[in-house]
């Protein structure tokens, strides 16, 4: 396949397709929320491909750290629809990264010619599938040393937000799902289309620039996590109202970030399952808000690309800057807190 300047292979028509087929795959028991939703949302919004939100099985996907989705199709159903395979497969972080069915499916898609894109700790799935042997890769800062030790035949690189080596693409922590998704749009549809999309979503840049040294677990972070975790009294149980047409991109960032403070949990509520702005089915945890639980909203006119900065600022205001910085560290996001 020809390569884009990012290194991501460009789309080459095959099997009678005029547009690429992109599969975002989940492991139903525990898949990272932002890793899964952000690529699906950005690529669906771009309208440059047929995009599928898959589970390995039909039914509910339990997202981490919160929310539940319903798979549009199972992996087997997708295979029946597209026996020649996807052009691109996006693999988010999952808890069961050695699941044999997931690994076998990823391997089969790679053999059929798909470009495999690991988001954050999705790199573990790719590595366990043997797809990173003799390749260069990146991953979440927290996993970096363990990956390098466990997979010595892979060269793990720092200071890259995402990295393509042949038909394998990897990215750093959770928030890297945004720039790598735009880089994929760029590889498929070109810079003009991608700039217009980025401007519409409020995303200022999607290059691979990254400062790995900015992300490390310090004593301050450990202290913050410990203190927040031990605050048994005063922990927030946020409720997020959802309805048809909710922007799943912003919702994922909101729910993910607030669920990582160690001082709060987040639940969605609606009378029934709802369909998001770009076609994801969200299954609420509750039918109505819990008594005395605060509601969580995003400003209605806030561009998705500005959401995470705003959310971290609100976390800092409600709790403190240390908590906001700890959330940003987990999401490997270059947040610059105000001075306390």
CA 311 remoteness from chain centre: 17
How much is the pLDDT for 259?
A: 95
Shared-domain flag, residues 230 and 296: yes
Specify whether 159 is located in the same domain as 296.
no
Q: Which of 168, 183, 212 is the endpoint of a domain? A: 212
| 310-336 burial code (b ≥16 CB/10 A, e <16) | bbbebbbeebbbbbbbbbbbbbbbebe
Statement to judge: residues 120 and 190 lie in one domain: yes
| Residues 144, 208 share a domain | yes
Q: What is the predicted pLDDT for the residue at 340?
A: 47
Q: Say if residue 208 is in the same domain as residue 307.
A: no
Residue 297 lies in a domain: yes
Q: Is residue 251 assigned to a domain?
A: yes
pLDDT at 1: 59
> Does residue 252 belong to any structural domain of this protein?
yes
CA–CA dist 188, 186 (Å, integer): 5
Spatial contact of 244 and 217, defined as CB atoms under 8 Å apart: no
Q: Where do the H-state alpha helices sit in 56-121? A: 75-81, 100-111
Last residue of a domain, one of 179, 212, 245: 212
Supply the range of the domain harboring residue 113: 21-212
Rounded to whole angstroms, the Cα distance separating 10 from 20 reads 10
Per the domain annotation, does 5 fall within a domain? no
Q: Are residues 234 and 193 in the same domain?
A: no
Each of the 340 residues of the chain gets a pLDDT tens digit; together they read: 577 767 899 999 888 899 999 999 999 999 999 999 999 999 999 999 999 999 999 999 999 999 999 999 999 999 999 999 999 999 999 999 999 999 999 999 999 999 999 999 999 999 999 999 999 999 999 999 999 999 999 999 999 999 999 999 999 999 999 999 999 999 999 999 999 999 999 999 999 999 999 998 776 776 666 666 656 556 899 999 999 999 999 999 999 999 999 999 999 999 999 999 999 999 999 999 988 899 999 998 899 999 999 999 999 999 999 999 999 999 999 987 765 4
Domain CATH code at residue 102: 3.40.50.880
**226 and 193, same domain (yes or no):** no
- Do the domain assignments include residue 4? no
136 and 92 part of one domain:
yes
The pLDDT, as a whole number, for residue 336 is 79
Residues 257 and 130 placed together within one structural domain of the fold: no
Whether residues 205 and 293 fall in one domain: no
pLDDT score, position 202: 96
Is 181 within the bounds of a domain? yes
Check residue 229 and give its pLDDT: 64
In this structure, the answer to whether residues 85 and 36 fall within a common structural domain is yes
On whether the CB atoms of residues 170 and 163 are closer than 8 A, the answer is yes
* Per-residue confidence (pLDDT) for residue 4, from 0 to 100: 75
The alpha carbon of residue 108 and the mean position of all alpha carbons in its chain are separated, in whole angstroms, by 22
For residues 150 and 190, membership in a common domain is answered with yes
How many structural domains is the chain composed of? 2
């Amino acid at each position: 396949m020809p390569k884009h300047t990012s290194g991501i292979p460009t789309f080459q028509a095959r099997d009678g397709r005029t547009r690429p087929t992109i599969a975002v795959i989940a492991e139903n028991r525990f898949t990272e929320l932002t890793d899964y939703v952000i690529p699906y949302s950005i690529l669906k919004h771009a309208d440059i491909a047929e995009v599928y939100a898959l589970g390995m099985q039909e039914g509910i996907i339990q997202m981490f750290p919160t929310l539940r989705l319903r798979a549009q199709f199972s992996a087997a159903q997708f295979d029946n629809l597209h026996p020649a395979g996807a052009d691109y497969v996006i693999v988010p972080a999952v808890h069961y990264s050695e699941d044999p069915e997931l690994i076998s499916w990823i391997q089969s898609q790679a053999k059929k010619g798909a470009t495999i894109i690991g988001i954050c700790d999705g790199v573990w799935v790719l590595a366990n599938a043997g797809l990173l042997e003799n390749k260069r890769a990146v991953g979440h800062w927290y996993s970096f040393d363990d990956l390098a030790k466990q997979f010595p035949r892979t060269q793990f690189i720092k200071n890259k937000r995402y990295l393509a080596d042949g038909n394998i693409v990897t990215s750093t922590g959770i928030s890297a799902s945004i720039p790598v998704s735009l880089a994929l749009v760029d590889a498929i549809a070109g810079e003009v289309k991608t700039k217009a999309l980025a401007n519409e979503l409020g995303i200022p840049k999607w290059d691979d620039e990254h400062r790995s040294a900015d992300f490390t677990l310090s004593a301050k972070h450990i202290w913050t996590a410990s203190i927040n975790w031990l605050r048994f009294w005063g922990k927030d149980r946020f409720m997020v109202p959802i309805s048809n047409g909710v922007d799943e991109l912003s919702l994922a960032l909101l729910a993910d970030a607030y669920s990582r403070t160690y001082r709060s949990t987040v639940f969605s509520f609606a009378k029934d399952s709802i369909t998001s702005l770009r076609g994801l089915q969200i299954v609420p945890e509750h039918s109505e808000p819990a008594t005395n639980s605060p509601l969580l909203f995003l400003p209605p006119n806030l561009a998705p690309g500005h959401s995470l900065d705003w959310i971290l600022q609100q976390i800092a205001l409600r709790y403190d800057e240390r908590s906001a910085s700890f959330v940003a560290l987990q999401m490997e996001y270059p947040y610059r807190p105000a001075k306390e």
